[in-house]
Amino acid sequence: MKGLPCIETESFIAFIADNAPAGIHRAGYNGVASLIPRCSGNNLFVPAYAGLNYEIIWLPGLAPYAGKDDCRFEPRCEPMHVESADGQGAVLVQPETAHAHVSARIAFSVEEPHYIHQHIELTPHRRFCGEGEPNTFRTLWASYIHVPPDRHVYLKPDRGAGDDLAGWFGLTKAEHDAPRMEVRRLPGGRELDSEGHLDAMSRQEPLSAEELSRLPDEVCAPMAVPRSLDGPLAFYYGLCHGAQLFLMMFKQPERFRLAYSPCGGGRAPAWSPAWDYVLRVEDAQPGATYSWDLCLAVKQYEGRADVLREVRRYQEG
């Protein structure tokens, strides 16, 4: 993408955008505007949008944001700029915003052979909650996936349960406003290649309310939440075209949550889901800077055991 900073590894090329437009990339979408595996040449993100995109701020007692043209997404509409960039990294900066009064510094860096690291620093400058109430702070970061062969995201909620192939679930929704996630089991007992993975999930029916009720609380309760998973998030993955694994890993699981839309980047016939994450602080203090670290691995899918190896490497590294 002409005019955008480029960072790259032997496995992919990524272009970093602030809120300015650049060709087909629209104004208001920041983060990784384009992520192109060298093996395919196809952008994993919706070309007009982005991934790892700073999108929404929630604070208790804060009135809805109303920017230009009735924009509801403050981080996408407020001024942002590229502070620095070279072939190995780029830094985005957003000064204190006019409505929520939050400033941001977002650093991207690459690691061979197939990793993008994102280090996020956010500083809330005001309180909006009632006297004596915790200053609960949330931000949503969106990744608009370009027409993947499968809209599910996959989790092993209890990584300590069973072997590496047991206890996996796929999550999706029929529509963005559907009241509940659809939860399907991913078959255990044997490893699956990407083709077998897609075929197995196409045969699974969503778990019924009764089946969900029989799952352990640490598995069932988070998945029953309508809009996001209300539990710590260590990782999730999805499958993209060309058998590409899209694996998100989070260094501080207790401060991340999953959010999801089956059609955030487009609906039928070109379903483009949003595989999103939420940052949280339970009582954010004005003037304090809070940080989060995550890593995206983009590589050929080699099975669920390989996913867990990547997660353990990142968590323990």
Tens digit of pLDDT for each residue in 7-27?
A: 999 999 999 999 999 999 999
Instruction: pLDDT band for 211, please (50, 70, 90 cuts).
Output: confident
Q: Contact at 8 Å (CB) between 51 and 57?
A: no
Instruction: pLDDT band for 221, please (50, 70, 90 cuts).
Output: low
Q: What is this structure's pTM?
A: 0.94
- Mean pLDDT of all residues in 64-82: 89
Q: Find the length of the chain.
A: 317
Q: Which CATH architecture has domain 6-316?
A: Distorted Sandwich (2.70)
Instruction: pLDDT band for 227, please (50, 70, 90 cuts).
Output: very low
Please state the separation of Cα 80 from the chain's center in Å.
Answer: 20
Q: Which two tokens stand for residue 91?
A: 């830094």
Distance CA 41, CA 242 (A): 10
pLDDT at 264 over 90: yes
Classified as helix, coil or strand, 25 is strand
Instruction: pLDDT band for 218, please (50, 70, 90 cuts).
Output: low
Query: What is the model's pLDDT at position 268?
Result: 85
- Mean pLDDT of all residues in 265-273: 92
pLDDT at 246 over 80: yes
| Identity of residue 56 | I
